[in-house]
Amino acid sequence: RKAIWLDADPGHDDAIALLIALHHPDLELLGVSTVAGNASGRDTFLNAVRLMAAYRAPTHIPLIRGADEPLVKQSKVDVGIHGEGGLGGVQGLPPLSSPLCQNWLHPTQPRTSSPSTSPEPALFLHTLSNLITDRLSNNKPPIHLAVTGPLTNAALFVKCYPHLLKGIAQIVIMGGAAGVRGNRAPLAEFNIMNDPEAASIVFDADIKVVMAGLNVTHQAIFTAELHDRLLSSSKRRPSQNQVIQSDPTPPTSNQTTVSELKKLLSSILTFFAKTYASEFGFTRGPPVHDMLAIVYIIDPTIFHRRVPSPGDLPCNHLFDSDPYAYKDHYHPFHRSPSPEREGEKEEVPITTHPEGKPTSS
């Protein structure tokens, strides 16, 4: 099994990435860290706590609240896509007061402060560096670092522990957009735009970085047909009553049944479909961006590589401070800002999807 650490900002599609990272048989999830992005650092952490509980994550897996703010910019949350708190419309998550959540709210290891009230990037750096050092000294294979939010935590690690990068096989991120327009600005994808300095540090690091950008993730649409398949009772295993972890005993209150899990996933994907339709005009369903970073780690042969063509934008344009500077590259999708929005250079949602209708509000 491949050893993986997930850094995420849940977030509807992060929630699905976490589920796969936890339960795919080819992966061993070593730890999870959270970062501000889709919602505040506090909210993404608490969302992760509830998801870990709902997914019945083994309690030894650490969950750490990392950076609350990007390295230079101010954090910008995405209520339009992920709702208030980052997991809008999601039903079936255990309350924070439930014993299941307490494991990650009050873990047994000593803490300097309560994780629900303050970020702990130092604990993240300490835990991940110890873990990698330990694996290196025991000749264990390098870990895979998946990042499905802004790259703040990953950049801190890269800067603080360059000598430990040999213990990381690759950093696989969901972020960016190669050869297609961005989503939260014509030239910027949300995760990169949230912390561009961190992205720059990670891309420049002496390590293999794999980018699942919008050009890839917009091909992974969770259609209504897939939603029906998720909900319909199937004769294929796992059966409706089978518990998430392979446990032969009947479900107890401490276990999530597959039907409960289906309801939870259905509410995640229903909300995501609604906001992707209203914000970006996606009519076939939402792209499940973040899970692709995990899928790549499981089996990279699923993806095809292609050599960039002359019409593609160079990637460094993604970091340009003026999202309109290269507007001519975007014909026919580009839409000039209306006069009242002239002053706004960022946060203009325009779909990259061929079926989407460009919108500006």
Judged by the rule CB under 6 A, the positions of this chain that interact with ligand BDR are 11, 13-14, 38, 78, 81, 148-149, 174, 183, 189-191, 289-290
- Asked whether position 148 contacts Ca ion by CB under 5 A, the answer is yes
Catalytic, out of 60, 289, 329, 331: 289
End-to-end CA distance of the chain: 45
Which one of Ca ion, ligand BDR, none is in contact with 124 (Cβ closer than 5 to 8 A by kind)? none
Q: List Cα–Cα distances, 325 to 105, 113, 178, 319, 345, in angstroms.
A: 45, 45, 17, 11, 10
Minimum CB distance to Ca ion smaller for 14 or for 195? 14
Which one of Ca ion, ligand BDR, none is in contact with 190 (Cβ closer than 5 to 8 A by kind)? ligand BDR
Alpha-carbon gap, residue 199 to 292, rounded angstroms: 18
Shortest separation between residue 10's beta carbon and Ca ion, angstroms:
7
- Asked whether position 149 contacts Ca ion by CB under 5 A, the answer is yes
Query: How many residues are there in the chain?
Result: 361
Shortest separation between residue 193's beta carbon and ligand BDR, angstroms:
9
Shortest separation between residue 190's beta carbon and Ca ion, angstroms:
8
Letter string b/e over residues 116-134, b meaning 16 or more CB atoms within 10 A of that residue's CB: eeebbbebbbebbbebbee
Minimum CB distance to ligand BDR smaller for 47 or for 191? 191
The conformational region for residue 11 under phi > 0 = left, psi -120 to 50 = alpha, else beta, is left
Shortest separation between residue 8's beta carbon and Ca ion, angstroms:
6
One residue of 4, 12, 14, 123 binding Ca ion per CB under 5 A: 14
Minimum CB distance to Ca ion smaller for 11 or for 196? 11
Task: Return phi, psi of residue 211, to 5°.
Answer: -110, 115
Minimum CB distance to Ca ion smaller for 14 or for 279? 14
Shortest separation between residue 12's beta carbon and Ca ion, angstroms:
9
Alpha-carbon gap, residue 290 to 322, rounded angstroms: 26
In the stretch 271-300, what mask flags binding to Ca ion with x, by CB under 5 A? -------------------x----------
Helices (H), the chain: 12-23, 41-54, 79-82, 99-105, 121-137, 152-160, 190-194, 196-204, 214-217, 224-231, 258-280, 291-298
- Asked whether position 11 contacts Ca ion by CB under 5 A, the answer is yes
Whether 163 is catalytic is: no
Alpha-carbon gap, residue 34 to 42, rounded angstroms: 9
**Number of amino acids touching Ca ion (CB under 5 A):** 6
Check if the beta carbon of residue 358 is closer than 8 Å to that of residue 350: yes
Catalytic residue numbers read: 289
| Site for Ca ion, rule CB under 5 A | 9, 11, 14, 148-149, 290
